Amino acid sequence: MFEEPKDLSKMIAAFLASLTTITLATVDHNGEPCAAAVYYAHDEQLNLYFLSAQSTVHSSNLLAHPRVAATAYEEHQDWKSLRGLQLSGVATPVEFLEFPHAAAVYTKKYPFVSLATRGSPAELLKAMASATLWKLTPTWMRMTDNSRGFGFKEELTFDQVGA
């Protein structure tokens, strides 16, 4: 049986490891909200990394307004077992010096991405060529877990505050 970690950051890390997508909320140039589902991977500091084509609305939005919100949750839950994560933070393209770390984190969770450089299908290779690897640095996270009581929530606030 899976034993849930008692430390909130470890609990969040285990929860993130069990899922593949977050819903990312951005703001466009008119101040209108936009949402997009993206595959992500996370590191030990709970930074989330995701790939996105440079032509997407959310990539364009992030370049202009890097502050974001996101959610992650398990599908097909009844209300008594609902578990989910809300977060806010700053999303920026991964910088050159951090790229090896970010790429390793991402390709560990999604090995097919590393194949893009080793003779994978042309469609994947083309998609990877027009993609940006992003880092979402969280400033706040809230874990909701109804299995511990209706509306049970715990929060983490991070010291680092981005752009």
φ, ψ for residue 31, nearest 5 deg: 85, 10
| DSSP code string of 102-161 | HHHHHHHH-HHHHGGGTT--HHHHHHHHTEEEEEEEEEEEEEEEGGGSTT-EEEEE-S--
- Give 162's pLDDT tier (boundaries 50, 70, 90): very low
Q: What is the pLDDT at residue 126?
A: 61
Q: What is the pLDDT at residue 131?
A: 84
| DSSP code string of 33-100 | EEEEEEE-EE-TT--EEEEEETTSHHHHHHHH--EEEEEEE-SS--TTT-EEEEEEEEEEEPPGGGHH
Q: Mean pLDDT over residues 16-37, rounded?
A: 96
Q: Mean pLDDT over residues 10-31, rounded?
A: 95
The CATH class for the domain spanning 8-157 reads mainly beta
pTM of the model: 0.85
Q: What is the pLDDT at residue 129?
A: 66
What number of CA atoms fall less than 13 Å from residue 64's CA on the CB side? 11
Average pLDDT of the chain to the nearest whole number: 86
Cα of 122 vs its chain's centroid, Å: 26
pLDDT in tens, 40-95: 999 999 999 999 998 999 999 999 999 999 999 987 667 777 789 999 999 999 99
pLDDT higher than threshold 90 for residue 138: yes
Q: What is the pLDDT at residue 2?
A: 38
Of the ranges 44-53, 91-100, 111-120, which one carries the lowest mean pLDDT score?
111-120
Q: Where are the domains of the chain?
A: 8-157
The whole-angstrom separation of Cα 149 and Cα 81 is 9
The whole-angstrom separation of Cα 23 and Cα 49 is 13
